Amino acid sequence: MPAQDDEEQGQVFVDESDIIHEVDVDEEDLPDADDENDTENIEDPDDSIHIFTGHTGELYAVACSPTDPVLVATGGGDDKGFVWKIGHADWASVLRGHTDSVSSLAFSSDGQLLASGGFDGLVKVWDTFGNFKRTLEGPGGGIEWIRWHPKGHLILAGSEDCTAWMWNADNGNCLNVFSGHGAIVTCGDFTPDGKTICTGSEDATLRIWNPRSGESIHVVRGHPYHTEGLTCLSISSDSTLAITGSKDGSVHIVNITTGKVVSSCSSQTGSTDGNPESIECVSFAPNFPWAVFGGMDQNLTIWDLQNASPRFICNHKEGVTCLAWLGASKFLATGCCDGRIRIWNCLSGECIETFKGHEHAIQSLAVSSNLEFLVSVSMDGTARVFEIRDFC
């Protein structure tokens, strides 16, 4: 039986009567063999649980309310801010009135008020429903950053006009202008005890001020301090130390009482042209004797303050733009130019989670007051919310 033999040999013969329909195929439509290995067009999964898309431009700033765990404020290049709620897609309030990008946002420590700063040189005060309260005027240049006094309704802001300003947010009165820097005041803050102000500038100096008198107590400059403009600043929880990062790729820790540099560290790698890579973010650990810093060298460095040496250098695929501690835990989040957010165990130096979803660089991170949500804003024009309760 020939047919049975053919079947046993795995051969199948097709007769013309078996053809149902003929289709002409252009060779250009045929898949290339290399396409099977091409994964560039495969989209990454989106790990976020909430996406806010109310903005129409790049996002620069995000703040989470210290009292309402789902209340978030965002601002960006569309000259607007928004307040919105995690998990409430139908609730949002627009903050109108700025005529240039909203560069910075911050809630008061009691959660009652929100301040927005813009490149139009204005600081505006809002309630938590997005209702306008008042405008704080004075600076002659764009607002670089905003901070609230830890115990009251006082606002501190740094400006492109080389000054920092302090106002009473309840009545709009200017309380002091801090003059002395020779370039843009790029970073600054109150000490946690509220008794001192620290500001950093493009002029490569750190100034320590008396908030009441406006007097400059210390000016930190020259060797062994930074040689280029400061980019970021953070103050220890006991109000004794300030850590600063710079375009020169170095990090220095300063004793606020004496104005002396007590520790220094430099970026581990330089750029392709041999110049140092800028440090973009610095912070002290809440519950450990560490400092952390990240920058365009694609590294997060976990620095042991007691031994003045790095515990771990954590590599990223692109530059590190921002960071946020997940409460008082050992876990730290970093935002990067590659649009990824990475969660690090700072005890082991390991990356234990990578959150995907953004298409462009992360600009800022904030953590909700209940430590359940991490909110990120990006150059892609979106804010995204990720669950972090497993890490806190």
For residue range 206-262, list pLDDT tens digits in order.
999 999 999 999 999 999 999 999 999 999 999 999 999 999 999 999 999 999 999
d(C-alpha 70, C-alpha 51), whole Å: 13
pLDDT in tens, 31-54: 444 444 444 456 779 999 999 999
Q: What is the pLDDT of residue 311?
A: 96
pLDDT in tens, 248-257: 999 999 999 9
Closest residue by Cα to residue 342 from 380, 311, 300, 304: 300
What tokens were used for 265? Answer: 């560290």
Q: What is the pLDDT of residue 42?
A: 63
Helix or strand or coil: residue 51?
Answer: strand
pLDDT band at 267 (very low <50, low <70, confident <90, very high): confident
What tokens were used for 169? Answer: 């947010």
Q: What is the pLDDT of residue 29?
A: 47
DSSP per-residue letters across 155-221: EEEEETTSEEEEEETTT--EEEEEE--SS-EEEEEE-TTSS-EEEEETTS-EEEE-TTT--EEEEE-
Q: What is the pLDDT of residue 27?
A: 47
What tokens were used for 260? Answer: 């002396």
d(C-alpha 120, C-alpha 103), whole Å: 10
Residue 347 and residue 330 in contact, taking contact as beta carbons nearer than 8 Å: yes
Residue 7, pLDDT above cutoff 50? no
Identify the residue whose tokens are 């949500």: 373
d(C-alpha 266, C-alpha 144), whole Å: 25
Q: What is the pLDDT of residue 312?
A: 97
Mean pLDDT of the chain: 91
Cα→Cα distances 340→87, 181, 312, 392, Å:
22, 35, 20, 20
Residue 364, pLDDT above cutoff 50? yes
Q: What is the pLDDT of residue 44?
A: 79
Residue 134 vs residue 7, higher pLDDT: 134
pLDDT band at 392 (very low <50, low <70, confident <90, very high): confident
Edge-first strand listing for the sheet containing 241-246: 230-235, 241-246, 250-255, 260-266
Using only the alpha carbons of the chain, give its radius of gyration. Answer: 26
d(C-alpha 321, C-alpha 324), whole Å: 11
d(C-alpha 145, C-alpha 230), whole Å: 13
d(C-alpha 302, C-alpha 315), whole Å: 11
Residue 365, pLDDT above cutoff 50? yes
Task: Tell me the average pLDDT across 69-96.
Answer: 97
What tokens were used for 366? Answer: 């904030």
What tokens were used for 300? Answer: 């997060």
Residue 302 and residue 290 in contact, taking contact as beta carbons nearer than 8 Å: yes
pLDDT in tens, 311-360: 999 999 999 999 999 999 999 999 999 999 999 999 999 999 999 999 99
Q: What is the pLDDT of residue 33?
A: 43
DSSP state of 38: -
Q: What is the pLDDT of residue 113?
A: 98
* Beta partners for residue 165, in sequence order: 157, 177
Provide CB contacts within 8 A for 354, sequence distance 6+.
340, 341, 342, 343
Q: What is the pLDDT of residue 362?
A: 98
d(C-alpha 162, C-alpha 142), whole Å: 10
Closest residue by Cα to residue 290 from 301, 279, 303: 303
DSSP state of 270: B
